Amino acid sequence: MNYKHNKEQVVKKGMELFWAKGFHKLGINEICKETGMTKGAFYNSFESKESFLLTTITAYGELLVVHLQSQLKTSKLSAFDKLIELYENMLKTQTKNNYKGCLVNNIMSEMGSLNNSVAELSAQQFNNFLQVIAPTVKDAQQNGDLSNSINSDILTEIIHTTFFGFLTRSKGKKDAGHLLMTSFLNTIKTNKNGNN
């Protein structure tokens, strides 16, 4: 199939390729073969493999933000239970996508210390995810389910960074790992007296 006249489809295919193979194991020849682009068309559109990667990270991040927003807005559960459901669903999805993990997490792990542009964009996408989740964490704090002794933005980062760790573990073990994430969230939940 030739995607050369549809940049959105080329980016979507590139996202799938980087997500499955990473940056270093994916070559320009394979990208061109899978997208139907000639090398000339590829370099004319994206300039380099790094530039193409950055484009796919941005597209992936935008899709994930929409997904997170949708799930958190449509759920009728309490704020704390929304968090449980959100992370359980994301980890259970790993069984359906062959334990590929999260493109942003994968690329951060592979390229974060090697390439400043990739590190900065990955961090920006991670922060975008946090901005979507933070209001639910804050609501859970206001409802007394999570401690108010820590700033909600910092607590959100702790929770989501822990999730990324479980996601990486899930990839390695070929196990969704959602029970561990649920256990972690229940561990930081306050008891009826407002203490952890």
End-to-end CA distance of the chain: 55
Ranges 4-8, 18-22, 80-84, 188-192: which has the least confidence: 4-8
Summarised one tens digit per residue, pLDDT across range 131-148 is 999 999 999 999 999 999
Contact 103, 15 (CB under 8 A): yes
What CATH number belongs to 57-188? 1.10.357.10
Structural tokens at position 132: 């979507």
* pLDDT at residue number 99: 83
Rounded CA separation 194/127 (Å): 29
pLDDT of 1 over the 60 cut: no
User: 5: pLDDT confidence band, cut at 50, 70 and 90?
Assistant: low
**pTM, entire model:** 0.88
Domain ranges of the chain: 57-188
By three-state DSSP, how is residue 189 classified?
Answer: strand
| Residue 189, phi then psi, degrees to nearest 5 | -70, 140
